[in-house]
A and B are shown apart, each in its own frame.
Chain A
């Protein structure tokens, strides 16, 4: 039987590094010899708007995008975006959430009330929370929060660690390889093999 296609969604806010994270994940899957499709949206959406990216891999992948109820993993870089994309995660799917809220402009300027019940809804949905920025700072730079989250994601996927670290080393600027690899390791440690939250 053909290897089933795995769908990972990455959701965040423009500028958070979701696109680089998606690229690393997709390249790792290519390195594992799988077929891969990745969809992202550029342009206006990148100016601080919601950014969601799907990475799909398996023996043969057709569609680059996915539908509600079809994602095996959601990696959310921010809690409101986690809640927004929650319907995409299939029952039994895995939710990794950076425990951080970036208020959208309508909230910042007081036009819209901050949302309520976001964290509760994510807890009910079985989300695994972590403070990716804090772990990234521990690794050496707050900019590597996206790699921390990939480290956490990696514990739920079957790629060997060397594939991940090889792709990360080739993909990030040379000067930042060391702390990005540390960030990946801290993300892995924060999220145990069984997906349990260890922090």
Chain B
């Protein structure tokens, strides 16, 4: 037994492994991604990336039905995609344990919205466990598999960014439980959800939830910490840690299971304290639930969106803030940016020249919305770009002068862009769709996908033939271009726009971070540079504007992609020797 530093995600993987999970399936999404990556690297498991979260849950449902304990991982917005099977799997219940790990992102560090996944509990009628540190992430995941089988129901383990991406000390003691896949036994009443069977299973579901509520009253997942009875705080997840720090003397009802709630135990706690308050981030889920139970928590002035912190909790409950140094005024923001050598830059350069209205999508290429490329008009959810481009056309938008173009990445296209494309082809639409195929799921940290030719467990895989796929859907114009060839990219964009037909243009070049051998960096010849600013407008972090307005290239980060050389009309950017020989800028 040794103390080990684990992130919440790593701990979830370990918990699933200890529980004897045999199958892991998910779709990458910050802050959930590492859970499945770490699980996939463990002994005796099978793990795969699915094209999307719905497929992931369906694969796990089949594995569970077939007798193998299964883990599914996704970020909060992924549950929207997987909601269809999730709701009905609550009816069917499970074969072997089925655990859905969901990571929410309050504060939107890396997401397009905030969603509070605790709400899926009462909505889908599935239990929701909420660990408050890495130790509990491991323990609760293990327990989740037991509960799933004991109550015949899928179990959600819900984390937030500060659980998933925080590390804490975990005592690793548990060995892997040996779980032999059970025999499959045909049970139409349980697994075939036609109305007659579903009605019966609905009644069964209510009974299972009632039994879970009984369990919640005595479950070690929930815990009362009685200290000073002047104030009692009901809380869960990472907020528990903030309360411990902000109000060390307060009594706490720490909920490890947020659905169903232990009504009796909460009522007892409420009676044992003078003031009852709820501390939670994201939705007012617990507060509303307590009110439904007839309890009357005092209102607390905490923000209704974004993350909490110990200091916010301390102040909301009457504490004084510590003295704080003055901030330095006028600091420039530091938004994330496309890397030097990023192939998306060439694609956006071409779209900007075409003055395209770009419906965008989710991935690194969303950064194309920021200056100086500033070439994206919308970003809503995975796959939305394609349907939205079609919709813009239906509204009469788009012309040769100001065309409508969808931009989507390879992995996102496989996730849910392909269905949108099918819609356009089927309905005779004429939008233009650009697939930015950089051979990897980049933003979440380089996960493999159906287009990349390798599996999660590093086995060679069948590679989706994007061109053939698009043609088979009915797209007649499918074209491939190298985004680092700026002239060819511009010409391809122009020609496809002018065709007036449904067209798919695939910009194909690997993510710059996949290329380990960098090319030699470029440098600017001061005598030739006219300070025109064209290279600056590519938005490459290696290129900056000097005080004289002329361009400078930082040779320490330039990877020699040569995009800037192509936009310079004065041949002022030239190849240098290796970076170490010229030194500095």
- Chain A positions near chain B (C-beta within 8 angstroms): 13-14, 23, 26-27, 30, 35-50, 61-70, 80-81, 83-84, 86-87, 89-91, 103-118, 121, 125, 142
* B328:A45 contact, CB within 8 angstroms: no
Q: Does any Cβ of A come within 8 Å of B582's Cβ?
A: no
With A62-B244, A63-B245 as known contacts, state yes or no: A106 contacts B324, CB within 8 Å: no
Given the complex of chains A and B, what is the CA–CA distance between A111 and B539 in angstroms? 11
Chain A residue nearest to B239 in the complex (CB): A63
* B541:A35 contact, CB within 8 angstroms: no
Given the complex of chains A and B, what is the CA–CA distance between A43 and B539 in angstroms? 20
Chain B residue nearest to A108 in the complex (CB): B544
Given contacts A50-B334, A112-B333, 5 further A-B contacts (CB under 8 A): A27-B5, A42-B445, A111-B372, A112-B332, A115-B332
Q: Separation in Å of the B538 CB from the closest CB of chain A?
A: 9
* A115:B325 contact, CB within 8 angstroms: no
Given the complex of chains A and B, what is the CA–CA distance between A42 and B443 in angstroms? 10
Chain A residue nearest to B310 in the complex (CB): A63
* A115:B311 contact, CB within 8 angstroms: no
Q: Does any Cβ of A come within 8 Å of B110's Cβ?
A: yes
Question: Hey, which chain B residues are within 8 Å of A13, CB to CB?
Answer: 334
With A44-B109, A48-B541, A86-B325 as known contacts, state yes or no: A39 contacts B336, CB within 8 Å: no
Q: Separation in Å of the B382 CB from the closest CB of chain A?
A: 15
Q: Separation in Å of the B374 CB from the closest CB of chain A?
A: 10
| 21 contacts across the A-B interface (CB closer than 8 A) | A36-B167, A37-B241, A40-B166, A41-B110, A42-B33, A45-B336, A49-B336, A62-B244, A64-B241, A65-B310, A67-B309, A68-B322, A80-B331, A80-B332, A80-B334, A87-B325, A103-B544, A104-B334, A106-B333, A106-B335, A115-B330
Given the complex of chains A and B, what is the CA–CA distance between A13 and B335 in angstroms? 10
* B241:A62 contact, CB within 8 angstroms: yes
Chain B residue nearest to A103 in the complex (CB): B544
The interface bits of chain B over 361-384 (1 if a CB of A lies within 8 angstroms of the residue's CB, else 0) are 000100100111000000000000
Chain A residue nearest to B363 in the complex (CB): A44
Interface residues of B in 211-227 (CB under 8 A from A): none
Given the complex of chains A and B, what is the CA–CA distance between A68 and B323 in angstroms? 9
Interface residues of B in 278-311 (CB under 8 A from A): 307, 309-311
Given the complex of chains A and B, what is the CA–CA distance between A19 and B467 in angstroms? 39
Interface residues of B in 190-241 (CB under 8 A from A): 238, 241
Q: Separation in Å of the B205 CB from the closest CB of chain A?
A: 36
Given the complex of chains A and B, what is the CA–CA distance between A86 and B537 in angstroms? 32
* A43:B31 contact, CB within 8 angstroms: yes
Q: Separation in Å of the B157 CB from the closest CB of chain A?
A: 18
* B165:A86 contact, CB within 8 angstroms: no
Chain B residue nearest to A80 in the complex (CB): B331
* A39:B443 contact, CB within 8 angstroms: no
Q: Of A36, A41, A48, A113, which is within 8 A of B337 by CB? A: A48
* A42:B110 contact, CB within 8 angstroms: yes
Q: Separation in Å of the B556 CB from the closest CB of chain A?
A: 8
Residue from B238, B332, B367 with most neighbouring chain A CB atoms (10 Å): B332
7 smallest beta-carbon distances between A and B, as pairs: A43-B110, A67-B311, A43-B30, A64-B166, A69-B322, A49-B336, A47-B336
Instruction: Report how many residues on chain B are interfacial, defined by Cβ distance under 8 Å.
Output: 61
Question: Hey, which chain A residues are within 8 Å of B311, CB to CB?
Answer: 66-70
* A48:B165 contact, CB within 8 angstroms: no
With A42-B31, A47-B364 as known contacts, state yes or no: A69 contacts B332, CB within 8 Å: no
Question: Hey, which chain A residues are within 8 Å of B161, CB to CB?
Answer: 41
Given the complex of chains A and B, what is the CA–CA distance between A118 and B364 in angstroms? 31
The interface bits of chain B over 420-432 (1 if a CB of A lies within 8 angstroms of the residue's CB, else 0) are 0000000000000
Q: Does any Cβ of A come within 8 Å of B119's Cβ?
A: no
Q: Of A38, A62, A89, which is within 8 A of B5 by CB? A: A38
Q: Of A35, A39, A121, A125, which is within 8 A of B165 by CB? A: A39
Given the complex of chains A and B, what is the CA–CA distance between A86 and B335 in angstroms? 19
Given the complex of chains A and B, what is the CA–CA distance between A108 and B558 in angstroms? 14
* B167:A116 contact, CB within 8 angstroms: no
A-B contact count (CB 8 A): 197
* A45:B109 contact, CB within 8 angstroms: yes
Q: Separation in Å of the B515 CB from the closest CB of chain A?
A: 15
Question: Hey, which chain B residues are within 8 Å of A115, CB to CB?
Answer: 328, 330-332
Q: Does any Cβ of A come within 8 Å of B3's Cβ?
A: yes
Given the complex of chains A and B, what is the CA–CA distance between A42 and B29 in angstroms? 10
Q: Of B244, B367, B371, which is within 8 A of A106 by CB? A: B371
* A83:B328 contact, CB within 8 angstroms: yes
Chain A residue nearest to B134 in the complex (CB): A37
Question: Hey, which chain B residues are within 8 Å of A114, CB to CB?
Answer: 332
Question: Hey, which chain B residues are within 8 Å of A121, CB to CB?
Answer: 328
Residue from B307, B336, B371 with most neighbouring chain A CB atoms (10 Å): B336
Q: Of A30, A105, A116, which is within 8 A of B541 by CB? A: A105
Q: Of A62, A67, A108, which is within 8 A of B536 by CB? A: A108
Interface residues of B in 26-59 (CB under 8 A from A): 30-31, 33
Given the complex of chains A and B, what is the CA–CA distance between A30 and B5 in angstroms? 8
Given the complex of chains A and B, what is the CA–CA distance between A38 and B175 in angstroms? 26
* B309:A63 contact, CB within 8 angstroms: yes
Given the complex of chains A and B, what is the CA–CA distance between A63 and B322 in angstroms? 17
Q: Does any Cβ of A come within 8 Å of B321's Cβ?
A: yes
Question: Hey, which chain B residues are within 8 Å of A109, CB to CB?
Answer: 371-372, 536-537, 539, 544-545
Question: Hey, which chain A residues are within 8 Å of B325, CB to CB?
Answer: 69, 86-87, 89, 91, 125
* B5:A104 contact, CB within 8 angstroms: no
Interface residues of B in 50-101 (CB under 8 A from A): none
Q: Does any Cβ of A come within 8 Å of B527's Cβ?
A: no
Given the complex of chains A and B, what is the CA–CA distance between A30 and B325 in angstroms? 30
With A64-B238, A89-B325, A110-B536 as known contacts, state yes or no: A44 contacts B336, CB within 8 Å: yes
Q: Does any Cβ of A come within 8 Å of B444's Cβ?
A: yes
Question: Hey, which chain A residues are within 8 Å of B312, CB to CB?
Answer: 67
* A46:B336 contact, CB within 8 angstroms: yes
* B539:A105 contact, CB within 8 angstroms: yes
Question: Hey, which chain B residues are within 8 Å of A27, CB to CB?
Answer: 5
Chain A residue nearest to B163 in the complex (CB): A64
Q: Separation in Å of the B114 CB from the closest CB of chain A?
A: 15
Given the complex of chains A and B, what is the CA–CA distance between A69 and B336 in angstroms? 26
* B334:A49 contact, CB within 8 angstroms: yes
The interface bits of chain B over 110-123 (1 if a CB of A lies within 8 angstroms of the residue's CB, else 0) are 10000000000000
